[in-house]
Structure 1
Amino acid sequence: MTTPSKDPLHGVTLQRILEVLVEHYQWTGLAERIDIRCFKSDPSIKSSLTFLRKTPWAREKVEALYIRLQRGASR
């Protein structure tokens, strides 16, 4: 038997993370929490994924917000 991963991001794609965040916060709420132009100016999943895949610091912020959202939702 394998033990389940304790990594909250295990098995979750960046696209799914972004979809969950947009569904919960909408683009305006996401832009308020993470100051990234691709969330403010004509936002889309595709353009945001392109930026986040090339920009580690921004991806870390998005992943951290997702983890906080998941921990809050599981309480």
Structure 2
Amino acid sequence: MNNTPPSSQPRNPLHGITLEMIVTALADRYGWAGLAERVLVRCFSSQPSVASSLKFLRKTPWARDKVESLYLFMLREQRREARRWGTTSP
């Protein structure tokens, strides 16, 4: 049995990050067209919005997994860029 409290997830980079924050960050970084290229779902290519994307992603676990994976990739990419240019990570 695990004695760690369920709310304690120090090594989980998604802990405390809402799906809305993820979609907004990805759309800001890649744009809706770039997001649609990276995750092939219609909610990013046909009249995209944060609200419609959230509605779809909350009902579709495989798509949410892809979006979360892309978000983690984006974070790693940002850290690499920050190290390359000698700045701190966002």
**TM-score category by the smaller chain?**
over 0.9
Give the root-mean-square deviation of aligned CA atoms: 1.2
Q: Which amino acid aligns with 1:61?
A: K
Tell me what 2:42 maps to. Answer: 37
Deviation of residue 12 (structure 1)? 0.3
Identity of aligned residues (%): 55
List runs of 5+ in structure 2 lacking aligned partners: 1-7, 81-90
Q: Normalising to structure 1: TM-score of the pair?
A: 0.93
Give the whole-Å Cα distance in 1 for the aligned partners of 2:9 and 2:78.
Answer: 20
Among residues 2, 24, 28, which one is paired with 1:23 in the alignment?
A: 28
Aligned length: 73
Give the whole-Å Cα distance in 2 for the aligned partners of 1:31 and 1:46.
Answer: 16
Find out whether 1:68 has 2:73 as its counterpart: yes
Deviation of residue 4 (structure 1)? 6.3
Give the whole-Å Cα distance in 1 for the aligned partners of 2:10 and 2:70.
Answer: 19
Give the whole-Å Cα distance in 1 for the aligned partners of 2:9 and 2:50.
Answer: 29
More helix, by proportion: 1
Q: Normalising to structure 2: TM-score of the pair?
A: 0.78
List runs of 5+ in structure 1 lacking aligned partners: none
Say which one has the larger Rg: 2
Deviation of residue 28 (structure 1)? 0.1
Structure 1 runs (4+) greater than 4 angstroms displaced = none
